[in-house]
Amino acid sequence: MFVILLGVLCLFLGLRGFSKAGLPITHNRSVSGIPDKLIAVFCCLLGGVLIAFVFYANLSAAREATWMIEEIEHR
């Protein structure tokens, strides 16, 4: 659950980096320009990888659980 939240937070932060205001650092300061876009792309990629990893791990766990249940039923 924590990893999904972290992934969503990274995606949100990355998407905020593509706004006209730039990537917020503090209330009064933000990064803009090319460094802003690079950080935004990195955050979006990181968020996507984290969320994909969680779905893959859950899918693998579900397959293993299904296999174990089928093995128990066939005995």
Q: Give the C-alpha separation, 72 to 59, whole Å.
A: 20
Mark out the alpha helices in 17-74 (DSSP H runs).
34-73
Q: Is the pLDDT of residue 75 over 80?
A: no
Digit-coded pLDDT (tens) for 44-64: 999 999 999 999 988 888 888
pLDDT on residue 30: 87
pLDDT on residue 71: 86
Nearest to 44 by CA among 70, 72, 9: 9
Confidence of residue 65 (pLDDT cuts 50, 70, 90): confident
State which residues form the domain around 27: 2-73
Split into its structural domains, the chain has a count of 1
